[in-house]
Amino acid sequence: MADPLPAERGEAEAIKAIPVRHPGRWVAAAIILVLAAQLLHWVVTDSALQWGVVGQYLFNSQILTGVENTIKLTIIAMVMGAVLGIGLAVMRLSKNPIVSGVAWIYIWFFRGTPVLVQLIFWFNLPSVLRSVSLGIPFGPSWFHTDPKDLITQLIAVCLGLGLNEAAYMAEIARAGILSVDEGQVEAASALGMTRLLAMRRIVLPQAMRVIIPPTGNETISMLKTTSLAVFVAYNELLGAATNVYSRTYQIIPLLLTASIWYLFMTSVLTIGQYYLERHYARGALRELPLTPLQKLRLLGQRNPGGAAPT
């Protein structure tokens, strides 16, 4: 705003008007408040939820191991997904129809089948393969191993989650790459850069602004998707909770324990994502959006009757 309003310049009298009333909002707020109080009362007092048990298991070593494994899985799957996904995106944009076709089929397959099916598939693969060997087909082999040693439980889960994630990351990365102006590749080529060098040094760094925010979403989603590993008996957070309640039959409190941990971890990621997006918006937005803390401070400063300070 270049010109301040006349009122701010003190040339004219400030407007004193009675703001529009919204009685409907107050009624709605009252109803919601009553419902929320009832819900809270039930949550806190109902014996079925057994909050004591929840507290007892929240920092139980078995549960903590589960939390650790969930974090480990999320990181491995996301790194795998991001690296493979960017590779697939570059392949899909290749001029070579075979290369882009391969990427297209990969994405089509891994997006088109449930991740749970893929998980169970990788988990069971070793038991149907008799042996794995590397060498000339029907000829001598230099490397020979039992598939059970090759695909451990952790590797099966990582393959299932990571390969699936790659298909989604590929689409995100492709959108990012396409968002970069064509003139950039042209300028890079004119300087003698190869397509690959231009991709790595010029296009991808600029594509990151578009790629990072949805990747944050994917990470939050992945954190919860890792719970599917419970189907192949991997000991992540939900698996750990299941193990405990199959012994003690305290199903609800242990599910609550797991949920508290999931909520805590997704909250941390959400906050992280918020600041990451803010960081990458730099240069693209003229004014950065306010952080929640800044908004709170503003609310406190709001003077009644006057315009919100800007």
Partner 1 sequence: MTATGSSGAAHPMVQAQGVHKHFGRLEVLKGVDLEVAPRDVFCLIGPSGSGKSTFLRCINHLEKISAGRLSVDGELVGYRQQGDKLYELRDREVCQKRQEIGMVFQHFNLFPHMTALGNVMAAPVRVRKEAKAVVHERATRLLDRVGLHDKADCYPAQLSGGQQQRVAIARALAMEPKLMLFDEPTSALDPELVGEVLDVMRDLAAEGMTMIVVTHEMGFAREVGDALVFMDEGVVVEAGTPRDVINNPQHERTKGFLSKVL
Q: What residues line the site for partner 1 (CB under 8 A)?
A: 181, 183-184, 186-195, 197, 201-202, 205-206, 283
* Shortest spacing between CB 204 and partner 1, in angstroms: 10
**Cα 89 to chain centroid, rounded:** 19
Q: Backbone phi, then psi, for 223, in 5-degree steps?
A: -55, -40
Residue 134 β-bridge partners = 143
Select 73 or 203, whichever has its Cβ closest to partner 1: 203
**Chain-centre distance for alpha carbon 45:** 34
CA dihedral 29, 33, 35, 36 (to 10 degrees): 130
- For residue 181, the minimal CB distance to partner 1 (Å) is 8
Residue 146 makes CB contacts below 8 A (sequence gap 6+) with: 126, 131, 132
CB of 66 to partner 1, least distance (A): 41
Residues 6+ apart with CB under 8 A from 204: 86, 176, 177
Taking the least distance from each CB to partner 1, the nearer of 147 and 213 is: 213
Closer Cβ to partner 1, 198 or 258, answer by number? 198
**Residue 130 or 282: which CB sits closer to partner 1?**
282
Give the Cα separation of 192 and 195 in Å (integer): 9
Smallest gap from residue 82 Cβ to partner 1 (A): 19
Comparison of 29 and 187: residue with beta carbon closer to partner 1: 187
Q: Which tokens belong to 99?
A: 């290369």
CB of 106 to partner 1, least distance (A): 25
